[in-house]
């Protein structure tokens, strides 16, 4: 039973997300069929087309039936069609998702080692110049807005020096070199923000761990300072980082919306932003559904990994 609980929890959360998306669609002012039809509503054949849409989405059915159809469609991976391009939403998301996944994975992968290094060094040198320098830098990283930093990078390294392409995306399998070149500036922009948050977290956790009695014991037993810091303190102060990175994924997707727009990356963020601008409701709702479920799954995975690693939580 206890083994099944996490799975049930995940299902329950996903059900809530689907329901919220459904309710939001019903709460949107105006006739959903008109909204789904988009700005083309108003042409000659409009009544006919509205009727088509109502039949297609079951909007002529009572609300509970509509709900059942919606849930059924979502579970089958049918998120509807874009009212702009008439492409299935799910395939638009499938095309955009890898870009965002790469952006986030590379940013997190870059930011984590840098943050661990900076945060631990600052904690070990607490109260000294190096510590103050690192913490000021971390605050600066958090405070600088991503869109501004992105534009600055574009101007310096893409337009000015011409080291990197300014916009666009190449799939890693098509052209690995080009992929790296296109991703470099967006990844750095997003990683800088993350380094700010994570460095401060690592610093606080490590400084706290270094005050613990067991660290004094390790010193009194003659262990080398670097063994104490990088092994005995690190395991205690860094495991919570797993949870924090999970939580930060949500913030990162917000950051990805901006960074993708600035660097012209065709990811989920840009898809979402474009759909919002053009009132393409099926795309907005499909994208939000997918992102929300992904964030929840990542957080649950982070929690499970944390439990697995922490001996007290395991038993």
Taking CB under 8 A as the rule, does residue 232 contact another protein? yes
Q: Which residues contact 216 (CB under 8 A, 6 or more apart)?
A: none
Taking CB under 8 A as the rule, does residue 315 contact another protein? yes
Binder of another protein out of 29, 162, 177, 311 (CB under 8 A): 311
Taking CB under 8 A as the rule, does residue 223 contact another protein? yes
Closest CB 194 distance from another protein, rounded Å: 25
Query: According to DSSP H, which parts of the chain are helical?
Result: 5-27, 32-37, 46-57, 63-75, 89-124, 129-143, 146-153, 176-210, 213-220, 225-227, 234-263, 268-277, 281-309, 311-314
Closest CB 114 distance from another protein, rounded Å: 23
By C-beta, is 87 or 132 nearer to another protein?
A: 132
Q: CA 304, CA 294: separation in Å to the nearest integer?
A: 15
Taking CB under 8 A as the rule, does residue 220 contact another protein? yes
Taking CB under 8 A as the rule, does residue 305 contact another protein? no
Total residues binding another protein (CB under 8 A): 22
Cβ atoms of residues 286 and 90 within 8 Å = yes
Which range binds another protein by CB under 8 A, 83-91, 155-163, 228-236, 270-278?
228-236
Whole-angstrom CA distances from 22 to 38, 268, 288 are 18, 20, 12
Cβ atoms of residues 101 and 298 within 8 Å = no
Q: CA 255, CA 253: separation in Å to the nearest integer?
A: 5
Which range binds another protein by CB under 8 A, 151-159, 220-228, 274-282, 288-296?
220-228
Taking CB under 8 A as the rule, does residue 224 contact another protein? yes
Binder of another protein out of 217, 251, 254, 304 (CB under 8 A): 217
Which range binds another protein by CB under 8 A, 14-22, 44-52, 247-255, 305-313?
305-313
Binder of another protein out of 216, 254, 301, 308 (CB under 8 A): 216
End-to-end CA distance of the chain: 16
**Cross-strand partners of 255:** none
Whole-angstrom CA distances from 64 to 51, 67, 68, 228, 273 are 19, 5, 6, 61, 31
Q: By CB under 8 A, what part of segment 174-213 binds another protein?
A: 212-213
By C-beta, is 210 or 283 nearer to another protein?
A: 210
Binder of another protein out of 24, 214, 254, 301 (CB under 8 A): 214
By C-beta, is 43 or 314 nearer to another protein?
A: 314
Cβ atoms of residues 25 and 285 within 8 Å = yes
Q: CA 108, CA 247: separation in Å to the nearest integer?
A: 12
Taking CB under 8 A as the rule, does residue 235 contact another protein? yes
Taking CB under 8 A as the rule, does residue 125 contact another protein? no
Closest CB 226 distance from another protein, rounded Å: 12
By C-beta, is 261 or 303 nearer to another protein?
A: 303
Measure the CA angle with vertex 184, ends 180 and 189; round to 5°.
Answer: 155
By C-beta, is 26 or 219 nearer to another protein?
A: 219
User: Which region, left, alpha or beta, applies to residue 61 given φ > 0 means left and ψ of -120 to 50 means alpha?
Assistant: beta
Dihedral over Cα of 19, 24, 26, 31: its sign: negative
**Cross-strand partners of 88:** 81
Binder of another protein out of 82, 83, 146, 218 (CB under 8 A): 218
- Residues lying near another protein in the complex (CB under 8 A): 212-214, 216-224, 227, 231-232, 235-236, 239, 310-312, 315
């Amino acid at each position: 039973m206890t083994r099944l609980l996490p799975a049930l929890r995940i299902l329950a959360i996903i059900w809530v997300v689907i329901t919220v998306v459904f309710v939001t669609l019903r709460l949107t002012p105006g006739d959903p069929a008109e909204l789904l039809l988009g700005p083309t509503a108003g042409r000659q054949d409009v009544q006919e087309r509205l009727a088509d849409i109502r039949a297609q989405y079951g909007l002529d059915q009572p609300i509970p039936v509509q709900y059942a159809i919606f849930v059924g469609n979502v579970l089958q991976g049918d998120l509807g069609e874009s009212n702009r391009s008439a492409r299935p939403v799910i395939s638009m998301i499938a095309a955009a998702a890898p870009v965002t996944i790469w952006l986030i994975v590379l940013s997190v992968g870059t930011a984590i080692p840098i943050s661990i290094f900076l945060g631990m060094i600052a904690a070990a040198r607490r109260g000294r110049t190096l510590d103050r320098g690192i913490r000021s830098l971390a605050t600066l990283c958090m405070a600088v807005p991503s869109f501004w930093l992105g534009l600055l990078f574009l101007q310096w390294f893409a337009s000015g020096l011409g080291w990197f392409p300014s916009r666009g995306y190449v799939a890693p399998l098509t052209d690995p070199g080009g992929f790296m070149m296109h991703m470099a500036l967006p990844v750095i922009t997003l990683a800088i923000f993350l380094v700010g948050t994570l460095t401060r977290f690592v610093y606080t956790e490590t400084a706290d761990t270094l005050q613990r009695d067991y660290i004094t014991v390790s010193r009194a037993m003659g262990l080398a300072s670097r063994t104490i810091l990088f092994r005995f303190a690190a395991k205690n102060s860094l495991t919570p980082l797993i949870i924090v990175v999970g939580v930060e994924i949500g913030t990162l997707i917000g950051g990805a919306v901006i960074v993708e727009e600035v660097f012209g990356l065709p990811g989920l963020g840009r898809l979402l932003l474009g759909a919002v601008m053009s009132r393409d409701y099926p795309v907005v709702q499909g994208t939000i559904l997918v992102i929300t479920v992904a964030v929840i799954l990542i957080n649950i995975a982070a929690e499970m990994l944390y439990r697995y690693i922490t001996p007290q939580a395991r038993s």
